[in-house]
Structure formats: C-alpha cells, structure tokens
C-alpha cells in the first residue's frame, strides 16, 4: 500500500483511480435519471423524459451534454 492508495480523512479516495471510479459512478447515476418512479410518472402522462426527447430530436452521437456531473444545491 502506498500513500496514493489511502483514503482521505472523509473516506474519499485520494488516488487518481479512485477519483476516476467515483466520476464513473456519478456519471452512471446521472444517465439513469431522477428515479424509476419519476420516469414512470412522466410516461404515464404520455410524455418522454428530457434525454428521450433529445435522442429523438438529434442524430445519435451528435449531442454532448455539458456539465453532466453538476448537481444542484436547491433545497425545499
């Protein structure tokens, strides 16, 4: 074990591989959408999710989402 393999004081990975894995997990969560319940509610109204509408509107692979990993801090 090296210094790069150790976790930081908050338990977060401090090495590059750990950070990359963390970013991949966050990206997968973002691509999944808000929740299955929210997606089902949208479909029950006869609507598509935002990502589904984008897929229909644009050519495959032509859209690059900006700030995909950004999280809002709104409360209430």
33-42: average pLDDT: 87
Q: What is the pLDDT of residue 8?
A: 58
Q: Is 52 exposed, middle or buried (0-12, 13-18, 19+ CB in 10 A)?
A: middle
Taking 70 as the threshold, does the pLDDT of residue 66 lie above it? yes
Residue 33 has which token pair?
């959408």
User: pLDDT tens digits for 15-27?
Assistant: 888 888 888 888 8
- On whether the CB atoms of residues 69 and 23 are closer than 8 A, the answer is yes
The residue with greater pLDDT, 39 or 66, is 39
* CA–CA dist 55, 45 (Å, integer): 19
For 41-54, write each residue's pLDDT tens digit.
Answer: 999 999 998 888 98
User: Per the structure block, which two tokens stand in for 40?
Assistant: 């089902």
Q: What is the pTM of this model?
A: 0.54
Residues shown for the chain? 76
């Amino acid at each position: 074990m090296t210094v790069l393999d150790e976790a930081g004081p908050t338990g977060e990975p401090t090495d590059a591989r750990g950070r990359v894995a963390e970013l991949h997990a966050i990206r997968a969560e973002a691509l999944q959408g808000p929740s299955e319940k929210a997606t089902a509610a949208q479909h029950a109204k006869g609507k598509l999710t935002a990502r589904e509408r984008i897929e229909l509107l644009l050519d495959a692979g032509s859209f690059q989402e900006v700030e995909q990993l950004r999280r809002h801090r709104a409360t209430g």
